[in-house]
Amino acid sequence: MAKVIMPLAQGFEEIEALTVIDILRRAEIEVVLAGLLPGTVVGAHGISIVPDTTIDTIDASNFDMIILPGGQPGTDNLNTDKRIHKLLGKFASKKKLIGAICAAPIVLATTGLLSGKKVTCYPSYRDQLNGGIYEDTPIVSDGSFITSQGPGTAINFGLAIVTRLAGYRTSDEISKAILFQDKPRDIWSPYLFDSTVQALLGALELKDSYSQGQARRVAEHSLNIGLKLKMSKSEMRDLYLGAMLHDIGKYNTAEDLLNKPDSLSLREETLTREHTLKGTLFVVGIDNISHIGPTILHHHEHWDGSGYPSGLKGEQIPFHARIVAVADAYDAMISNRSYRDGLDKETVLRELVKKKDTQFDPFIVDVFIECLKESPFEMKDFSYYF
């Protein structure tokens, strides 16, 4: 059973704390409440809670995750307590999950944990993220960090945490049991994104015969993973774009290299690897899609650090890039190539499992295999998003 610690300070936001506690306990996840001082803690709206223990008794090694509720003055009280910063540092050093909602992400920022990380928070605190990359969306997951915007997103936040700690099936069961209906703001443009993507892909497919349909298959696999992880609409949009355009840099790669039936020389392999850099440059500066550059740039990084172009390791690799990497590898192995026939499905799945913890994020591989088991014969059509 997973075990979570939630520190409570005077003035915490009751909806954020109690909603998350309720959802996690429905998932049979143990939640321990720790006050900053002994005795009752009173929330921002006068609701009193008696914590299970105090923060001084907490050993980070006994927990899988720490969650900070927001609210004021609760967040400021957490942020001025050095014990909280120390505890967060211990969780981060062990790459354990860290969650924060509403104003609470600024505590992570003060601790120095958000630099370069995608994050969300209550909008009025977006300028206090200390290097965090703000996204205006209910939930943002980046590696071991899960953040949420505020009281109205507390159910989404709790379900996202359950997905990570207990699996998407448990999260889905709870969602159905409480009759939860997620209706985020409609940020999808009916034409803008898809028309841009289709135009770019059309240019590539004219040049590279192998690429025909490949990007769409990788996008479908990636979005199936995203659905299982209950990604928000904005994250699904970005994942779609990153998956569709992950190989767009091959447009600037010589055709004889793309379709060569023999093994590539060292020089030729170096030239083909440049497609990640070229693809990133392709989208830089284009409104609404330039932010997917990290997915394009890093989808050939390996979990153990042996990939390219940057040799990133583990959770240093952008989350969407890790998803695309698994989907892309699956499609590459199962499809016919210029130099070999495609492998059968069972062989490909064995290869994915074999390369967990080396080439691929093991969590993403497990989720993807579950996707294939549930829909073994046909993938969903995601064109309805546009």
Look up the CATH number of the domain holding residue 296.
1.10.3210.10
Same domain membership, residue 261 and residue 165: no
Which of 136-150, 259-273, 343-357 shows the lowest per-residue confidence on average (mean pLDDT)?
259-273
Q: Could you count the other beta carbons within 10 Å of the beta carbon of residue 128?
A: 16
Angle (CA) 203 299 316, round 5°? 150
Please confirm, yes or no, whether 121 is among the known catalytic residues. no
Mean pLDDT to the nearest integer, 36-56: 96
CA distance 293 to 282: 9
162 and 217 housed in the same domain: no
345: CB partners within 8 A, 6+ apart: 334, 372
Kindly state whether residue 317 falls inside one of the protein's structural domains.
yes
Whether 73 maps to a domain, the answer reads yes
Least confident interval from 1-15, 199-213, 256-270, 329-343: 256-270
Q: Does pTM surpass 0.75?
A: no
Looking at the structure, do residues 10 and 142 belong to the same domain, yes or no?
Answer: yes
Arithmetic mean of pLDDT, 48-63: 96
pLDDT higher than 70, residue 341: no
C-beta of residue 255 within 8 angstroms of C-beta of residue 302: no
Pairing assessment for the beta strands 139-142 and 145-148 based on DSSP bridges: antiparallel
Residue ending a domain, among 146, 177, 208, is 177
The proportion of the chain whose per-residue pLDDT surpasses 90, expressed as a percent, equals 63
Residues 152 and 297 placed together within one structural domain of the fold: no
Out of 67, 102, 174, 297, pick the active-site residue.
102
pLDDT for res 1: 80
207 pLDDT exceeds 80? no
149 and 288 belong to one structural domain: no
pLDDT of 334 reads 86
Dist. CA 103–CA 149, nearest whole Å: 8
The count of structural domains within the chain is: 2
Contact of 145 with 117, CB cutoff 8 Å: yes
Write down the pLDDT at residue 336. 66
The larger pLDDT score, comparing residue 26 to residue 235, is at: 26
pLDDT of residue 281: 87
User: Residue 14 sits in which domain range?
Assistant: 3-177
CB 58 within 8 Å of CB 86? no
Is there a single domain that holds both residue 202 and residue 252? yes
**Residue 159 and residue 236 in one domain:** no
Q: What angle do CA 276, 282, 283 make, to 5 degrees?
A: 105
Three-state SS for the chain is CCEEEEEECCCCCHHHHHHHHHHHHHCCCEEEEEECCCCCEECCCCCEECCCEEHHHCCHHHCCEEEECCCCCHHHHHHCCHHHHHHHHHHHHCCCEEEEECCCHHHHHHCCCCCCCEECCCHHHHHHCCCCEECCCCEEEECCEEEECCHHHHHHHHHHHHHHHHCHHHHHHHHHHCCCCCCCCCCCCCCHHHHHHHHHHHHHHHHCHHHCCHHHHHHHHHHHHHHHCCCCHHHHHHHHHHHHCCCHHHHHCCHHHHCCCCCCCHHHHHHHHCHHHHHHHHHCCCCCCHHHHHHHHHCCCCCCCCCCCCCCCHHHCCHHHHHHHHHHHHHHHHCCECCECCCCHHHHHHHHHHCECCCECHHHHHHHHHHHHHCCCCCCCHHHHC
Interval 93-150: pLDDT, tens: 999 999 999 999 999 999 999 999 999 999 999 999 999 999 999 999 998 999 999 9
Q: Is residue 334 domain-shared with residue 310, that is, in the same domain? A: yes
Whether 159 and 219 map to the same domain: the answer is: no
Query: pLDDT tens digits for 321-339?
Result: 999 999 999 988 887 665 5
Task: Among 38-52, 265-279, 306-320, name the one with the lowest average pLDDT.
Answer: 265-279
Average pLDDT over residues 15-22: 97
The verdict on 203 and 307 lying in the same domain is: yes
Task: Looking at the structure, tell me whether residues 11 and 151 fall in a common domain.
Answer: yes
Q: Pick the last residue of a domain from 177, 202, 220.
A: 177
Q: Of the residues 177, 201, 218, which one is the last residue of a structural domain?
A: 177
Residue 186 domain-assigned (yes or no) = no
Q: Where is average pLDDT lowest: 8-17, 297-306, 369-378?
A: 369-378
User: What is the mean pLDDT of the segment spanning 288-293?
Assistant: 83
- Regarding whether 61 and 22 lie in a shared domain, the answer is yes
pLDDT band at 173 (very low <50, low <70, confident <90, very high): very high
